[in-house]
Amino acid sequence: MSAPSGMTVVQARSFGTDAVRRRAVTSTALSDVARIDRGMPDVAPQSVIRLSETALDEAGAAHEGSALGGVPILLKDNIEAAGMPTTAGSLALANNAPGRDAPIVTRLRDAGAVILGKTNLSEWANIRSSQSISGWSAVGGQTRNPYDPGRTPCGSSSGSAVAVAAGLAPAAIGTETDGSITCPASVTGIVGFKPTVGLVSRTHIVPISHSQDTAGPMTRTVEDAAIVLGVIAGTDPLDAATAEADGRKVDYRAALDAGSLRGARIGVMRFLLPSYSEETRAEFERTLGVLEAAGAVLVDIPEGPDMATIGRLEFTVLMVELKHDLNLYLASTDPAQVKTRTLADVIAFNAAEPRETVLFGQDLFERAEATKGLDDPEYVAARADSLRMAGPEGIDRMMAEHQVIALIAPTTSRAWTNDPEDEDRMQGSASRLAAVAGYPHLTVPMGLDRGMPVGLSFIGGKWEDARILSLGHAYERVRGPMTRPAGNDGALILQPPGGGSIMR
């Protein structure tokens, strides 16, 4: 694949196969990350909230033979890790350091990963306000898209996506309730994978919704995502949703098949396309040709479920579960460190703290506080109906009726601007059905929309994580190297400091 004039060609290399699999984590490398991430006024990515004080010790103790021996990984700052506060971007949690690892962090450490630090996020995972700005938090400021600092990194795993895209770490962990892994990955040109809900533990992760929340890997390649998923997946006795995880997980890396597109019947979700930009639709049509050339059998799906109704029901579910689940989480924190013991306390804290509401308010928090709990018949019906419409009558029905093994669509269009006053807005999204159903959703870089990255989404049935990763891996292989803008803001896409780049 040759690059057009003014573009550079970039080929991602997996840390699982490359000879320079590991990047040395040294004091110089850590200072370089800090300098690059925060050191360039007005254009700095601002993706990392803090670096771990124990990263050097972890790097020295890493086992070469382990799955992630020596690989530096960043965590979204709603995931607890011993030795660092977990703030969800809020000043209300600035001192929240209970000294415990989330089970997925324990799994990462046991596999030899080096926990490099915490990434910025859309505050409270983008659930505080209907007017929130993606990538902004009171603790971390505004994370910037490395392709264009004036455009959104999307939310809420914005810092995780930007850090990987900018070369600060080869992998990061994000979380998603609806689009918060896949959208940031798409608009920053990386791979993001939202697993089946219940495959990965949510314990000691600041929650929104026990029905839809999950953590997942954000990486440069699908192979790397498969390696990280294989480490973090598994049953957690403290998270009932993961009861089947040990029985369902497989060796996701070993299951990757570069030829898996041959003969694969894949459903094209045409009913979603009108909401995307013209440029993204054109890129998608070109990509369909690439898939067909690789042997995929594409089946148009002109009609889908009632997306507006699913969205309305999802909102009811999220508001009720936010209050319930966040109250449980806050009650589990150390009262000496976290004075806000309930959602109502957080609302009062925000009202009294000007730094929290300088850009937008907290109308969603207030709506959640007014809900009536998990026994409310409206909530019970909304959850049952949304799950049925998105899952059995949505993804499952489309796949069965059209005899396909996966569904595809653009993940979203180009990143919109951070200016809330202009007319540039988000265009198109493939995340809702998989988010509400709790099914796997993978985004892989597809191309450019006016010079900004856009991704291709692969969606499958429950527990079909390995198949979806394999299809994305096969597409990645036939797609070839991605093109990236040369000069201007593209200069923020950096070689990782400290040597051992996984990019070429």
The pLDDT value recorded for residue 486 is 45
The pLDDT value recorded for residue 417 is 87
**Domain range annotation of the chain:** 7-492
Pick the catalytic residue: 47, 76, 201, 457? 76
Pick the catalytic residue: 52, 156, 160, 413? 156
Q: Which residue has the tokens 């937008």?
A: 360
The pLDDT value recorded for residue 30 is 87
Cα distance between residue 431 and residue 439, in whole Å: 10
pTM of the entire predicted model: 0.94
Span 460-496, pLDDT tens digits: 999 999 999 999 999 999 998 887 654 333 334 443 3
First to last CA, the chain: 14
Fold classification of 7-492 is Amidase signature (AS) enzymes (3.90.1300)
Catalytic, 180? Answer: yes
Catalytic, 76? Answer: yes
- Write the CB contacts of 269 (distance below 8 Å, at least 6 apart in sequence): 301, 304, 398, 407, 408, 409, 430
DSSP secondary structure string for all residues of 235-289: -BTTBGGGTTHHHH---TTTT--TTTTTT-EEEEEGGGGGGS-HHHHHHHHHHHH
The pLDDT value recorded for residue 9 is 67
* Average per-residue pLDDT for the chain: 91
The pLDDT value recorded for residue 488 is 35
Chain centroid offset of residue 182 CA = 5
pLDDT category at 202 given cuts 50, 70, 90 is: very high
Cα distance between residue 123 and residue 43, in whole Å: 20
pLDDT category at 415 given cuts 50, 70, 90 is: very high
Mean pLDDT of 331-344: 98
Cα distance between residue 134 and residue 147, in whole Å: 16
Span 273-306, pLDDT tens digits: 999 999 999 999 999 999 999 999 999 999 999 9
